[in-house]
């Protein structure tokens, strides 16, 4: 996929850092974006305490159950051992619930964290999840904290079809 003209500028208030990228036509944007993500996540100066939700594993796609057990992937982007963090999660933009995680997570390591069950009704829903208070300290960088997903719940009772066929005849 090629594009025309693009400019991307990012400013970090905490460090006063500016990153600017200008792309002038005919360039495949996705490898550039992958490299940019690697710079932010791997080469940006590490803060002491920087946690993130990198993936919402579940809920995902479609479910026939009104109650779901969310699971997220927590990653320690910080330089210090992560021993506690608040995982904030909300459904459909509602008031976030907070799950206080505690454990031992080395720098650059990840762990899957099951969250308390949630109950939602029929329909399409969105879930947003982000971290705060890593090691009871301010978050190192906020650009890598959040993950989101959409999912569908269909708990309607199945309808019985009025057609019966026993496949006993020569034609059916």
- Residues 63-93 have pLDDT tens digits of 777 788 999 999 999 999 999 999 999 999 9
Residue 109 contacts residue 75 (beta carbons within 8 Å)? yes
How far apart CA 136 and CA 47 sit, in angstroms, is 14
Q: How high is the mean pLDDT of the chain?
A: 81
> pLDDT tier at 42 (50, 70, 90 boundaries)?
low
Rg for the chain, CA atoms, rounded: 22
How far apart CA 8 and CA 19 sit, in angstroms, is 8
Q: Decide the pairing of beta strands 82-91 and 97-105.
A: antiparallel
pTM across the whole model: 0.69
How far apart CA 63 and CA 40 sit, in angstroms, is 35
Lowest mean pLDDT among 25-29, 64-68, 134-138, 146-150: 25-29
Given a cut of 90, whether residue 13 has pLDDT beyond it is: no
Question: Which pLDDT does position 63 carry in this prediction?
Answer: 78
Mean pLDDT value of segment 21-46: 60
With vertex at residue 79, the alpha carbon angle to CA 36 and CA 85, rounded to the nearest 5 degrees, is 95
Mean pLDDT value of segment 128-154: 90
Lowest mean pLDDT among 29-33, 80-84, 116-120: 29-33
Mean pLDDT value of segment 51-71: 87
How far apart CA 112 and CA 45 sit, in angstroms, is 25
Question: Which pLDDT does position 1 carry in this prediction?
Answer: 41
Mean pLDDT value of segment 51-61: 90
How far apart CA 87 and CA 115 sit, in angstroms, is 9
CA torsion angle 131 111 151 64 (round to 10):
-130
Residue 115 contacts residue 67 (beta carbons within 8 Å)? no
Which pair of tokens denotes residue 143?
A: 């650009």
How far apart CA 59 and CA 43 sit, in angstroms, is 31
How far apart CA 79 and CA 13 sit, in angstroms, is 20
Share of the chain above pLDDT 90, in %: 43
């Amino acid at each position: 996929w090629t594009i025309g003209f693009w400019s991307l500028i990012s400013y970090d208030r905490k460090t006063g850092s500016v990153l600017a990228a200008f792309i002038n036509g005919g360039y495949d944007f996705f490898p550039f974006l992958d490299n940019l993500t690697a710079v932010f996540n791997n080469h940006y100066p590490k803060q002491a305490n920087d946690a993130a939700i990198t993936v919402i594993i579940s809920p995902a796609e479609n479910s026939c159950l009104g109650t779901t057990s969310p699971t997220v992937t927590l990653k320690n982007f910080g330089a210090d051992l992560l021993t506690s963090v608040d995982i904030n999660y909300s459904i459909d933009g509602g008031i976030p619930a907070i799950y206080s995680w505690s454990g031992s997570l080395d720098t650059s390591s990840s762990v899957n964290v099951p969250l308390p069950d949630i109950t939602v009704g029929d329909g399409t829903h969105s879930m947003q999840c982000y971290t705060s208070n890593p090691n009871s300290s301010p978050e190192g960088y906020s650009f890598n904290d959040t993950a989101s997903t959409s999912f569908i719940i269909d708990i309607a009772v199945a309808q019985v079809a009025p057609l019966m066929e026993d496949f006993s005849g020569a034609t059916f």
